[in-house]
């Protein structure tokens, strides 16, 4: 029998529905994180499991027994909750606060003395004699966790326990929860940091707008497409130092701001790529060598790119593809990429589109690491130079060059008529 | 396994009990006719003796008056602790629930109808107090729960309403105005054993909260947290509200409205022994009794043979003491 079972649970505050058709099981020994946007019903779900609220339809079972059949004291012996907000303005000592947790266990002598032990377990034995009101926010959060542990319940619910903690305390807290889980405590924890969620939790429950959007092993659940659907932001999955990370960008604006082609390599364009994508441009890049840092970034961002084999000079095929991408662009940007015989074709292609009338902007650094001398031709070709990426991006936000004829067929019509279109002076 | 001893509440309670005994003795020996300690011992050990004037003064006037003052002080202090902690509001006193104004209205009706003789006036005051508690209670009920903030608002509103009616009655009943005002100010003057018996009814209600000290501690963290920790919050809240209401109604019905004790004694005691109810409740009970005993002593001796209203004295004694303790802070 599952420790917690929710079957088709609906819940509404007054008439406002908060949770809809929630069904899932939590087995004894599970270590599960709950993630989801603000207002998706996470805290309400936890309140339902603790029997503080009762479902409008469906049922919430603890060990097979509906929560509304529990007395509060019995429930506190089964389920402990660490709330998100905790207010206590009275001058009680930390020991007194922690001991309140053993209330559900009655006045038995065996449950009274271990406030000190519980505090020691959390690494804060020195707080026992202090006054609760004098503690820092992070210390208070740990003391409330100690209070909940005094219940000796089988299931621990936590509502954003890491929100007031610095990074070291956060990691310590989750390590500790993991340790307690190893000793048989089941844990269900709301958290907002998706990267912490991936690292620490075996399973994740994703709530979206009152419904379960996904429930399963963390790496299967936090796929970029699910994150995008649930949070409405773009998510990118990165692998670094043996771990998986998510990074996020604001969701693209509905109107496209124009097409930018980036000539870069060796990490000189990764920052620009990300900034341009976040700012809402359609970005392409090339020619890049496979496994190059910029190529990896472009791949994570899902950009169209002209790619050559690793460590190889640019070949015919990649060059042709690159020129095609450039022709479709409203603006070509040259990053501070070193130029050698391997990638000289990129600069030649740039000179060609510049001659054809496409605006070209370049970071001045490109002139400094040129082993071919070809970049000297850029300025006469009408290329505009900027001191660095930041200056270029600032200029771009003020005047996006447009060339009606060079736009791809998929561009929305209203772009053509955009009144603020500042023509680039070349 | 090291187990540190819980901080004991007994030193605080013993000290408060000692102070109470001293206050009780002082109240009994001092007065327009002061007694020596040996006389006091003699009177207490022999009991009432018919025909002996001094004995009669002691047993018929001073003893019931002092006991009543101490009982009322204890009742108001305990009610104050309960309500301040239920409302989580430091400005709460036993009178915010409207019970006292209801009782005052009952008593005023008694005076206007010339039913001012006991036990009618006390009965009417009790009826007024309980009726108000009932109305406020109904107003605060939401889906089987008592909403503590609605209760506070309803209590204050009913208080104003009852006071307005009392004012109208006072104006209508010209010749009784003095009696009504005197009652409203609160006094132990002329009270006897009959009132003591009524006040004694409240003793069980002073004992009950002592069994709920753990629940009351946990409720300091708010109702939701108390539920999470396993407290049957609604049941506890109802029990405590009724307890505080009964204590207040009984206290007001025997002696009128005496302010400040119920507000300030819980604060003073929190500063001295901390907010944990194992110590706070019994010590407040004893300090409330001591303070009211001393206040009544001062009210009948300072400008004897006239009396200062005891409510004025409680304020004069309590306010400086409270300010001093606030400045000093809770002892480390």
Q: In the prediction, which pLDDT does B243 show?
A: 93
The stretch A39-63 carries a mean pLDDT of 92
Confirm if A3 and A187 have CB atoms less than 8 A apart: no
Alpha-carbon gap: B141 to the closest alpha carbon of chain A (Å): 16
Q: Report chain A's terminal Cα–Cα distance, integer Å.
A: 74
Q: Is B221 on the interface with A (CB under 8 A)?
A: yes
Task: Tell me phi and psi for residue B308, to 5 degrees.
Answer: -90, 135
Task: Note the helical H segments in A150-279.
Answer: 167-182, 194-200, 218-221, 224-231, 270-278
Q: In the prediction, which pLDDT does A58 show?
A: 92
Give the model's confidence band at A409: pLDDT under 50 very low, under 70 low, under 90 confident, else very high: very low
Contacts of A56 in chain B (CB under 8 A): none
Tell me the per-residue pLDDT of A213-228, one tens digit each, with 9 for 90 and over.
999 998 888 888 888 8
Is residue A287 reached through a cis peptide bond, with omega within 30 degrees of 0 on the bond before it? yes
CATH (residue range B10-27+35-328): 1.10.3470.10
Task: Tell me phi and psi for residue B85, to 5 degrees.
Answer: -80, -30
Q: In the prediction, which pLDDT does A82 show?
A: 94
Tell me the per-residue pLDDT of B177-218, one tens digit each, with 9 for 90 and over.
888 888 888 888 888 888 899 899 999 999 999 999 999 999
Q: In the prediction, which pLDDT does B332 show?
A: 40
Tell me the per-residue pLDDT of B132-149, one tens digit each, with 9 for 90 and over.
999 998 998 888 788 888
Of residues A86 and B288, the one with the higher pLDDT is: B288
Q: Is A103 on the interface with B (CB under 8 A)?
A: yes
Tell me the per-residue pLDDT of A148-162, one tens digit each, with 9 for 90 and over.
999 999 999 999 998
Q: Which residues contact B301 (CB under 8 A, 6 or more apart)?
A: B30, B31, B32
Give the C-alpha separation, B249 to B102, whole Å. Answer: 9
Tell me the per-residue pLDDT of A291-323, one tens digit each, with 9 for 90 and over.
899 999 998 888 999 999 998 999 999 999 999
Confirm if A228 and A235 have CB atoms less than 8 A apart: yes
User: How is residue A370 annotated by DSSP?
Assistant: B
Is the pLDDT at B5 greater than 80, yes or no? no
Contact check, Cβ <8 Å, B221/A93: no
Chain B residue at shortest CA distance from A83? B225
Q: Which residues contact B178 (CB under 8 A, 6 or more apart)?
A: none
Give the C-alpha separation, B80 to B99, whole Å. Answer: 13
Q: Is B233 on the interface with A (CB under 8 A)?
A: yes
The stretch A288-293 carries a mean pLDDT of 91
Number of Cβ atoms within 10 Å of the Cβ of A413 = 6
Q: Which of A7, A5, A9, A11 is nearest to A62 (CA)?
A: A5
Contact check, Cβ <8 Å, B274/A92: yes
Q: Is B171 on the interface with A (CB under 8 A)?
A: no
Confirm if B104 and B163 have CB atoms less than 8 A apart: yes
Q: In the prediction, which pLDDT does A107 show?
A: 65
Q: In the prediction, which pLDDT does B145 show?
A: 86
Q: In the prediction, which pLDDT does A254 show?
A: 59
Q: In the prediction, which pLDDT does B112 show?
A: 85
User: How is residue B259 annotated by DSSP?
Assistant: -
Confirm if B68 and B195 have CB atoms less than 8 A apart: yes
SS3 B261: helix
Q: Which of A232-236, A249-253, A331-335, B87-91 is the least confident region? A: A249-253
Confirm if B289 and B74 have CB atoms less than 8 A apart: yes
pTM over 0.90: no
Q: In the prediction, which pLDDT does A113 show?
A: 56
Q: In the prediction, which pLDDT does B247 show?
A: 92
Contact check, Cβ <8 Å, A83/B225: yes
Q: If 0-12 CB within 10 Å is exposed, 13-18 middle and 19+ buried, where does residue B79 land?
A: buried
Residue intervals of chain A classified under CATH 3.40.50.1260 are: 259-409
Is the pLDDT at B114 greater than 60, yes or no? yes
Find residue A250's DSSP bridge partners.
A233
Q: In the prediction, which pLDDT does A411 show?
A: 41
Q: In the prediction, which pLDDT does B116 show?
A: 62
Q: Over chain B, what is the mean pLDDT?
A: 86
Is the pLDDT at A426 greater than 50, yes or no? no
Backbone CA torsion sign across B186, B188, B194, B195: positive
The stretch A133-147 carries a mean pLDDT of 90
Q: In the prediction, which pLDDT does B329 show?
A: 60
Alpha-carbon gap: A150 to the closest alpha carbon of chain B (Å): 10
Residue intervals of chain A classified under CATH 3.40.50.300 are: 4-247
Is the pLDDT at A375 greater than 80, yes or no? yes
Chain B residue at shortest CA distance from A147? B229
Q: In the prediction, which pLDDT does B327 show?
A: 78
Give the C-alpha separation, A375 to B215, whole Å. Answer: 80
Tokens of B182: 């005197």
Contacts of B231 in chain A (CB under 8 A): 72-73, 103
Alpha-carbon gap: B230 to the closest alpha carbon of chain A (Å): 4
Contacts of A77 in chain B (CB under 8 A): 230
Q: Which of A198-207, B54-63, B288-297 is the least confident region? A: B54-63
CATH topology (fold) of A259-409: Rossmann fold (3.40.50)
Q: In the prediction, which pLDDT does A12 show?
A: 92
Confirm if B154 and B98 have CB atoms less than 8 A apart: yes
Contact check, Cβ <8 Å, B2/A93: no
The stretch A139-151 carries a mean pLDDT of 91
Is the pLDDT at A81 greater than 90, yes or no? yes
Give the model's confidence band at A413: pLDDT under 50 very low, under 70 low, under 90 confident, else very high: very low
Give the C-alpha separation, A253 to A139, whole Å. Answer: 42
Tell me the per-residue pLDDT of B226-264, one tens digit each, with 9 for 90 and over.
999 999 999 999 999 999 999 998 998 888 888 888 888
Q: Which of A223-237, A411-425, B284-298 is the least confident region? A: A411-425
The ranges assigned to domains in chain B are 10-27+35-328
Q: Which CATH class is domain A4-247?
A: alpha beta
Q: In the prediction, which pLDDT does A424 show?
A: 42
Q: Which of A17-26, A179-188, A246-255, A390-399 is the least confident region? A: A246-255
Confirm if A185 and A157 have CB atoms less than 8 A apart: no
Owner of token pair 């501070």:
A336
Give the C-alpha separation, B140 to B156, whole Å. Answer: 12
């Amino acid at each position: 029998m599952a420790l917690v079972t929710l079957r088709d649970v609906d819940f509404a505050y007054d008439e406002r529905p908060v949770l809809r058709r929630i069904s899932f099981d939590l087995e004894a020994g599970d270590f599960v994180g709950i993630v989801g946007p603000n207002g998706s019903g996470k805290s309400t779900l936890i309140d339902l499991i603790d029997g503080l609220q009762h479902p409008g339809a469906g049922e919430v079972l603890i060990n097979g027994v509906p929560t509304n059949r529990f007395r509060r004291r019995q429930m506190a012996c089964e389920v402990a909750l660490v709330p998100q907000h905790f207010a206590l303005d009275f001058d009680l000592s930390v020991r007194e606060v922690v001991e309140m947790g053993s209330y559900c266990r009655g006045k038995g002598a065996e449950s009274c003395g271990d406030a000190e032990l519980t505090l020691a377990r959390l690494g804060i034995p020195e707080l026992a004699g202090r006054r609760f009101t004098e503690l820092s926010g992070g210390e208070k959060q740990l003391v409330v966790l100690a209070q909940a542990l005094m219940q000796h319940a089988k299931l621990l619910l936590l509502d954003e326990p890491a929100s007031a903690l610095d990074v070291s305390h956060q990691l310590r807290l989750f390590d500790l929860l993991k340790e307690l889980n190893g000793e048989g405590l089941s844990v269900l924890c709301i958290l907002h940091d998706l990267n912490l969620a991936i690292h620490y939790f075996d399973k994740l429950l994703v709530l979206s707008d009152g419904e379960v959007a996904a429930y399963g092993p963390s790496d299967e659940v936090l796929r970029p497409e699910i994150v995008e659907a649930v949070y409405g932001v773009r998510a990118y999955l990165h692998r670094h130092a043996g771990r998986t990370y998510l990074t996020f960008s604001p969701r693209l604006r509905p109107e496209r701001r124009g097409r930018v082609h980036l000539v870069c390599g060796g990490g000189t364009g990764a920052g620009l790529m990300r900034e341009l994508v976040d700012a809402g441009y359609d970005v392409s890049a090339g020619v890049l060598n496979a496994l190059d840092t910029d190529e990896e970034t472009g791949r994570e961002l899902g950009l169209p790119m002209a790619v050559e084999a690793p460590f190889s000079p640019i070949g015919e095929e990649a060059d042709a593809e690159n020129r095609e991408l450039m022709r479709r662009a409203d603006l070509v940007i040259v990053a501070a990429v070193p130029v050698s015989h391997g990638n000289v074709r990129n600069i030649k292609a740039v000179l060609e589109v510049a001659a054809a009338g496409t605006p070209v902007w370049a970071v001045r650094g490109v002139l400094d690491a040129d082993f071919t001398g070809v970049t000297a031709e850029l300025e006469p070709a009408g290329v505009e130079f900027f001191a660095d990426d930041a200056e270029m991006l600032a200029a771009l936000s003020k005047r996006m060059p447009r060339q009606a004829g060079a736009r791809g067929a998929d561009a929305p019509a209203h772009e053509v008529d955009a009144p603020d279109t500042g023509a680039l002076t070349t | 396994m090291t187990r540190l001893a819980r901080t004991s509440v007994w030193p605080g309670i013993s000290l408060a009990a000692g102070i109470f005994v001293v206050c009780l003795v002082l109240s009994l020996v001092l007065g327009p006719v002061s007694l020596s300690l040996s006389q006091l011992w003699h009177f207490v050990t022999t009991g009432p003796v018919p025909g002996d004037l001094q004995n009669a003064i002691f047993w018929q006037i001073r003893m019931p008056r002092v006991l009543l003052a101490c009982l009322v002080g204890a009742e108001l202090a305990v009610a104050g602790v309960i309500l301040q902690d239920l409302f989580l509001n430091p400005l709460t006193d036993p009178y915010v629930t409207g019970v006292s104004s209801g009782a005052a209205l009952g008593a005023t009706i008694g005076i206007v109808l010339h039913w001012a003789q006991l036990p009618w006036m006390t009965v009417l005051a009790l009826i007024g107090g309980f009726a108000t508690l009932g109305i406020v209670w109904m107003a605060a009920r939401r889906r089987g729960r008592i909403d503590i903030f609605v209760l506070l608002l309803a209590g204050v509103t009913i208080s104003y309403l009852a006071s307005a009616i009392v004012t109208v009655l006072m104006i209508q009943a010209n010749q009784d105005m003095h009696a009504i005002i005197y009652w409203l100010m609160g006094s132990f003057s002329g009270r006897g054993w009959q009132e003591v018996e009524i006040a004694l009814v409240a003793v069980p209600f002073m004992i009950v909260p002592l069994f709920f000290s753990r629940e009351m501690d946990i409720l300091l963290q708010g109702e939701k947290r108390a539920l999470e920790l396993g407290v049957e919050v609604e049941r506890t809240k109802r029990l405590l509200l009724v307890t505080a209401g009964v204590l207040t109604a009984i206290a007001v019905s025997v002696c009128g409205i005496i302010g400040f004790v119920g507000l300030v004694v819980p604060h003073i005691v929190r500063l001295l022994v901390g907010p944990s109810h194992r110590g706070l409740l019994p010590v407040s009970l004893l300090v409330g009794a001591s303070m009211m005993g001393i206040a009544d002593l001062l009210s009948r001796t300072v400008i004897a043979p006239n009396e200062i209203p005891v409510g004025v004295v409680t304020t004069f004694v309590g306010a400086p003491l409270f300010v001093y303790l606030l400045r000093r802070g809770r002892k480390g």
